[in-house]
Amino acid sequence: MKAARLENGVLQIKELPTPKLDYEDALIRMTSAGVCHSDLHIVRGDWAGLPSNMPLGHEGIGIVEALGPGADRYVAVGDRVILGLGGTGGGFWCGACEYCMRGEPRHCAQTKGIMGTFSQEFRVWAKSLVKLPADLGDEEAPLACGGLTAYGAVKKLLKHQILPGRAIAVIGAAGGLGHYAVQIASAFGYNVVGVDVGEERLSFVKSLGAHTVLGAEDAVAAAQEFGGVDASLAENTRLAGFDLGLQMLRRGGLFVAVGIPASSEGNLQLNPWEFFRRDPTLIYSAVGTVQDMRELVDLAAAGRVKTHVGRTATLAELGDVFDDLESGRYVGRAVITDFNV
Ligand SMILES: [Zn+2]
Ligand SMILES: [Zn+2]
């Protein structure tokens, strides 16, 4: 089978043997795979501490082709499924530890991520699969990480008692994560302030249902004028976006960090006096659980969330897609739709 791998830090398309199935494994014939900003960070070596040899891709839709022992309790051959949960937690979780029991399997000591969906066939733990309704197309593959990450972040607003109707900012609102967050937060009933750069991106954000759109350059002053937002979702891969999200908060507001800027961008800065004065709550939100994925699929099936596909490509064109993503040549997400070339 053909598959994309990072070999000594270089992207390669290789011919590899079909994976062998273990207990509760399913073999998926991939029909589409989303390109996440994380994949670009991995290929460019942006994140310190990651291996330079690894499979690539962690969002996908496909058909169950074969089952290992015990997997038939969760899916059947021929089922069309979405697989993902990001790079953390989609491959395995123990189900019995403190973190698993409270719905945070990504912190489980036995957790395994999903990596390797840029591949004709992919082996995955059947418990993490979610079946798809027939009317949800293959272009929705990026729901698996991008959509789920945005969904998990919006759900945390409720956990922190920020109720529908309140003003929340989405920083990077036209991006791969942000465009989902705008739709999901609007579907939940929040008053969404979408922040991005440039006329074209802002009108795209408006079309997604944002109540207000602001250019990044005016966002802090505009937010101060109406007293600040209750929460900021920094759906952004640049540290400047994180700073902006913090600056837009009202006193006692919630800052939700999503995405990971390159290590070379340095640290998030917070002046202790400002911390005292403004008293923000700072949390991180990474992907979500398989239950979140089921809820998101329902929301997408109801037409409330849709992936904006700005680019499609074959497996062989993956390197070009990374170049295009890096230079912002498309909005929304890219999807690999053909794995045979
Ligand atoms: Zn566990
Ligand atoms: Zn991702």
Q: What DSSP designation does 40 have?
A: H
Which ligand minimizes its atom distance to the CA of 106?
1
C-alpha 143 – ligand 2 centre gap (Å): 10
Rounded CA separation 158/301 (Å): 22
**pLDDT per residue over 206-246, tens digit each?**
999 999 999 999 999 999 999 999 999 998 778 999 999 99
Inform me whether the pLDDT recorded for 88 exceeds 80.
no
Rounded CA separation 227/204 (Å): 26
C-alpha 161 – ligand 2 centre gap (Å): 27
CA distances from 251 to 33, 247, 262, 271 (A): 41, 10, 29, 15
Neighbours of ion ligand 2 (CB under 5 A): 36, 38, 86, 145
* Percent helix / strand / coil, the chain, rounded to 5: 35, 30, 40
Rounded CA separation 67/25 (Å): 6
Mean pLDDT, range 308-312, rounded to an integer: 94
- Residue 172 tokens, joined: 């990077």
C-alpha 37 – ligand 2 centre gap (Å): 6
Which ligand minimizes its atom distance to the CA of 102?
1
C-alpha 251 – ligand 1 centre gap (Å): 36
16-20, 30-34, 87-91, 121-125: the lowest-pLDDT one: 87-91
C-alpha 112 – ligand 1 centre gap (Å): 10
Quick one: what percent of the chain has pLDDT higher than 70? 99
C-alpha 300 – ligand 2 centre gap (Å): 18
Rounded CA separation 278/325 (Å): 36
Q: In what order do the strands lie in the sheet with 249-258?
A: 212-215, 191-196, 167-171, 229-235, 249-258, 281-284
**Location of structure tokens 């790079």:** 87
- Residue 126 tokens, joined: 């059947």
Mean pLDDT, range 313-336, rounded to an integer: 93
Which ligand minimizes its atom distance to the CA of 98?
1
pTM: 0.92
C-alpha 101 – ligand 1 centre gap (Å): 7
Residue 86 pLDDT level (bands cut at 50, 70, 90) = low
- Residue 37 tokens, joined: 């900003």
Rounded CA separation 83/98 (Å): 24
